[in-house]
């Protein structure tokens, strides 16, 4: 599983692939993009990624 955190205003390499965003986001396995970041949402997304890999 590959997990990348992109922070708005600090990281810019995501723009070419995901376009402009106004909030920080997490990308899991370059497939699932999560922009509504909270502890519960992040935990569930990681659990799903581990189960599906």
**What pLDDT does residue 5 have?**
84
Looking up tokens 């909030």 gives 23
As a whole number of Å, the CA-based R_g of the chain is 11
| pLDDT at 8 (0 to 100) | 82
pLDDT tens string 1-46:
888 888 888 888 777 787 777 788 888 888 888 888 899 998 998 8
What are the structure tokens assigned to 10, written together? Answer: 């600090």
Q: Is the pLDDT of residue 53 over 80?
A: no
């Amino acid at each position: 599983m590959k997990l990348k955190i992109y922070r708005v205003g600090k990281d810019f390499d995501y723009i070419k692939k995901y376009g402009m965003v106004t909030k920080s986001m997490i990308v899991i396995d370059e497939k699932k993009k999560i922009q509504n970041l909270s502890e519960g949402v992040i935990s569930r997304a990681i659990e799903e990624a581990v189960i599906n890999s």
